[in-house]
Structure 1
Amino acid sequence: MATHAPAAPAESGPSRYFVPNPSVWPFILTAALALLVYGVAGYLEDRALPIKPMIIAGAVLAFYIIFRWCRDVAMESEHGSYNLQVDRTFRWGMSWFIFSEVMFFGAFFGALFYTRMLSVPWLGGDGSKLLTNLLLWPHFEASWPSNGPGHVGGEFEGMEAWGLPAINTLLLITSSFTVTWAHHALKENKRAKCIAFMWLTIALGVTFLFCQAKEYIHAYEVQNLTLHSGVYGSTFFMLTGFHGMHVTLGTLMLIIITLRLMSGHFKPDRHFGFEGVAWYWHFVDVVWIGLFTFVYVL
């Protein structure tokens, strides 16, 4: 594991570009996340595995690595290793990262659209696809939510929009405003105000995750809605579950940035670490609005 000694101040010219030392953090974090995801999947699938130890070990290790890795990056920034060229690189890198996340969720939204608008109507004999219905599942009725032909996973209740999902929507929309107000406060060099709005944003994110956990528990224990509940259950948990993972990561990023603000990091005219996290949080909010509309309401 490489050490991160203080670097000399970066030159402003094009010939100087900071290259970080080799690090083992990406590999350890990958192993921790794999352990965490496998444990959660085992819990949802009722597998005969030591589920709780896997989830706890994966989560604790992942959180530890994230904070250590971010600390190293913060030290590089505060020791003057980054010049304007590196700053531009970070901006392009974050932009392409968010674009890749848009494509990621676009694939799942596309699967939901294809299922609801094409596959289910075809199986039900809609329009010119009557032969599909007669040959495959003559008694299948095209309705949504659907657990597919044969009622895979048994009967279940669909999710209502105007309970916890509506509250979560209000929480995330509000958090988008609070992080924006924090950004303006930082640019005006009002650090205490900025920190207060950041902690408020973090509280809203944590409350969102708490409400989503309650929703999942209710879905499994009361509504019989699980990953086994046909195409509706699988698309619902894939979309909301991956979004929840992004909210969790975004909340961790907000906490790290806030701790850096409390340590005196960032300047009113140069604070891309803050801006990058704000971009990511706005992206998470926009995805949830799409989720709420197409998964819960329509």
Structure 2
Amino acid sequence: MTTGDQHYFVPEPSRWPIIAVVGIFVTLFGVVLTVNDVSSGPILSLLGLAVLVYLFTGWFGDVIREGRSGSYNDQVSVSFRQAMAWFIASEVFFFAAFFGSLFYIRTIAIPSLAGEGHLASSHLLWEGFKDAWPLLNLPDNESYVPAREAMGPLGIPLLNTVILLTSGATITWAHWGLKANRRGHLVVGLALTVLLGVVFLGFQAYEYVHAYEELGLTLKAGVYGSTFYMLTGFHGLHVTMGTIMLIVILLRSMKGHFTPKDHFGFEGVAWYWHFVDFVWLGLYVFVYWL
């Protein structure tokens, strides 16, 4: 396709989209079976994940080879940036939905159950219900196991906040090194960012074990437990994805794939990582402190 004086690269027909559909379907189908205690569920989930690993390795490998061969021009670069911006925008709305749920629960649903607000009659459901957050005690329910204590903002949560903020600084330092054509700074900065991402995930795993075993904070611990794990768990998934992307970019940087003028692969991952940092600050304030 020719636009003006430039040829816009159009790839050949690809098998990757159909492989993506198969991998996503098998993974989600396996998760559904697992949730419903079907023995084949975990096997199907792992099979689907294996297909997705093959998909990302092959598809992104093709994109890297196309970029290294000089197939992409400035117009393709603009398209990549627009696509990454829209992807991050979709992630913003993804987390906005969960923050919105937390806001609704804390400012509307719980006060209403306590006889406050425009839905004050809701207090008739549970007489004597008190408006409190974190909500550790609910009316008797067979499936409800109350948490013994809420998760505090100090300790591991505060340490993880410092770790992620530091990782934002190290990846920015790596970006400066790339633009200054100092490959040593680029590689060291990326390696430190990867290390900080792995340490963050390790501390979060330890925090989950502590919450389950010592605080009694489980998914069955009412709306507080479910919102805590939903918000922090999805963020942890995004940190995992970001760390994997950083490892790929680190390996590419060590091979000399990026130049001061041509490094969108690095920039896209850096944008994503800064987004992950920003979301964590919101989580730390609204989940741990308030």
Alignment match, 2:156: 164
Q: Tell me what 2:133 maps to.
A: 144
Distance 1:165 1:40, change over 3 A: farther
1:75 to 59, 65, 89: 65
Is 1:90 aligned to residue 48 of structure 2? no
Name the SS for the 2:7 alignment partner: coil
Deviation per CA, 1:140-179, whole angstroms, max 9, x where unpaired?
Answer: 2221122654455211132122122111111111100000
1:115 aligns with 105
2:207 counterpart residue number: 215
Are residues 42 and 244 of structure 1, via their aligned partners in 2, closer, same or farther at CA, if it must alter by over 3 Å? farther
Quote the residue 1:28 is aligned against.
19
Q: Against the structure 1 CA distance between its residues 37 and 246, is the aligned structure 2 distance closer, same or farther, given a 3 Å change threshold?
A: farther
Q: Quick one: distance in 2 between partners of 1:170 and 1:39?
A: 37
Q: CA deviation at 1:248?
A: 1.1
How far is 1:25 from its partner? 3.1
Alignment deviations for residues 241-275 of structure 1 (CA, whole Å, 9 cap, x no partner): 11111111111111111111111111111211111
In 2, Cα distance between the equivalents of 1:50 and 1:226? 25
User: Is this contact kept in 2: 1:91–1:276, CA < 8 A?
Assistant: yes
Summarize the alignment of residues 132-211 of structure 1 with structure 2, pairs less than 5 Å apart. Answer: 132-133=122-123, 135-146=124-135, 148-150=138-140, 153-156=144-147, 157-211=149-203
Q: Summarize deviations over 1:83-140 as a string: whole Å, max 9, x none.
A: 000111111111111111111110110000010111101101125654321x221122
Distance 1:111 1:180 in 2: 33
Query: Which blocks of at least 5 consecutive residues in structure 2 are unaligned?
Result: none
CA 1:46 to 1:105, structure 2 compared with 1: closer, same or farther past 3 Å? same
- Deviation of the 1:231 alpha carbon: 1.4
TM-score, length of structure 2 as denominator length: 0.88
One-letter identity of the residue aligned with 1:250:
G
Change (3 A) 1:119 1:192: same
Q: Are positions 1:286 and 2:278 aligned together?
A: yes
Find the aligned partners of 2:199 and 2:24 in 1 and give their Cα distance.
23
How far 1:217 sits from its partner (Å)? 2.3
The answer to whether the 8 Å contact 1:187/1:269 transfers is yes
- Structure 1 portions without partners, runs of 5+: 1-9
Aligned partner of 1:47 in structure 2 is 37
Give 1:233 shift: 1.7
Provide, for residues 16-67 of structure 1, a one-character-per-residue CA deviation record: whole Å limited to 9, x for no partner.
2112233333443455456556767887x69353566556545444334323
The CA distance in 2 between the partners of 1:252 and 1:78, in whole Å, is: 21
Count, aligned residues: 287
Normalised to the residue count of structure 1, the TM-score between the two structures is 0.86
Question: After the TM superposition, which of the residue ranges 100-109 and 226-235 deviates more from structure 2?
Answer: 226-235
AA matched with 1:28 = I
RMSD of aligned Cα (Å): 2.6
* Change beyond 3 A, Cα 1:40–1:220: farther
SS at match of 2:215: coil
Question: 2:227 maps to what in 1?
Answer: 235
Matched-pair contact (CA < 8 Å) for 1:12–1:84 = no
Distance 2:21 2:175 in 1: 31
Q: Contact 1:12/1:83 (CA < 8 Å) preserved in 2?
A: no
The answer to whether the Cα contact below 8 Å between 2:108 and 2:117 also exists between their aligned partners in 1 is no
Distance 2:187 2:113 in 1: 54
Identity of aligned residues (%): 50
Kindly tell me: are residues 23 and 131 of structure 1, through their superposed partners in 2, closer, same or farther at Cα, counting changes over 3 Å?
Answer: same
* Secondary structure class of the residue paired with 1:47: coil
Question: How far apart, CA to CA, are the structure 1 residues paired with 2:166 and 2:257?
Answer: 25
| Higher RCO, 1 vs 2 (CA within 8 Å, ≥6 residues apart) | 1
